[in-house]
């Protein structure tokens, strides 16, 4: 059974409350429950969210040391600003898929650049929470 981690960055703990017209009404707990319902029999899923860059970086290192099989990351705003998060992903050598709930290319110009995407196998943007499901499916096949 593959072990896949799902990491969420700043403000994603506010899903369902923050800008529901962009991010929807489902919460992070709803997402975790939906992923467990779909993949619980075929994958061990580990969930982590933090509003702190260092905590995300520490968790990526822990996952690498624990030899996880894959990582789904929504770095939130750190996607566009954090060289440190990018370096952590590159150093972890974990197959990683970057996910964005909204289509970052239809939003503000500063969101069009992802510093972390080059450290990932793929990027999924604009599919809502379904993007997480697609990312886990991809990691399970590869």
What residue ranges do the domains of the chain occupy? Answer: 2-141
**Catalytic residue (choose from 23, 93, 105, 132):** 23
> Is residue 127's pLDDT more than 80?
yes
CATH code that applies to domain 2-141: 3.40.50.9100
Quick one: pLDDT at residue 131? 98
**132 in active site:** no
- Measure the N-to-C terminal CA separation of the chain; round to a whole number of Å: 13
Q: For 106-120, how does the pLDDT look when each residue is reduced to its tens digit (9 = 90+)? A: 877 877 789 999 999
- Rounded Cα distance between 136 and 54, Å, is 24
Who's near 107: CB < 8 A, 6+ residues apart?
none
* Residues pairing with 49 in the sheet: 8
**Catalytic residue (choose from 80, 93, 100, 105):** 100
- Rounded Cα distance between 134 and 99, Å, is 9
What is the per-residue burial (b if ≥16 Cβ within 10 Å, else e) of 64-101? Answer: beeebbbbbbbbbebbbbbeebbebbeebebbbbbbbb
Closest CA to 22 of 114, 109, 104, 82: 104
Residues in the chain: 142
**133 in active site:** no
Q: For 40-84, how does the pLDDT look when each residue is reduced to its tens digit (9 = 90+)? A: 999 999 999 999 999 999 999 999 999 999 999 999 999 999 999
DSSP secondary structure code for residue 137 in this structure: H
């Amino acid at each position: 059974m593959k072990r896949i981690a799902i990491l969420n960055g700043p403000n994603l703990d506010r899903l369902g409350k923050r800008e529901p017209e962009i991010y929807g009404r489902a919460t992070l707990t709803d997402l975790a429950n939906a992923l467990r319902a779909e993949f619980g029999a075929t994958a061990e899923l580990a969930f982590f969210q933090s509003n702190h860059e260092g905590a995300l970086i520490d968790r990526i290192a822990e996952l690498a040391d624990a030899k996880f099989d894959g990582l789904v990351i929504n770095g939130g705003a750190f996607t566009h600003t954090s060289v440190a998060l990018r370096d952590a992903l590159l150093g972890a050598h974990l197959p990683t898929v970057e996910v964005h709930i909204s289509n970052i290319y239809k939003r503000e110009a500063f969101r069009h650049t992802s510093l972390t995407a080059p450290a990932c196998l793929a990027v999924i943007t604009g599919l809502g929470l379904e993007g997480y499901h697609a990312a886990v499916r991809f990691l399970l096949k590869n």
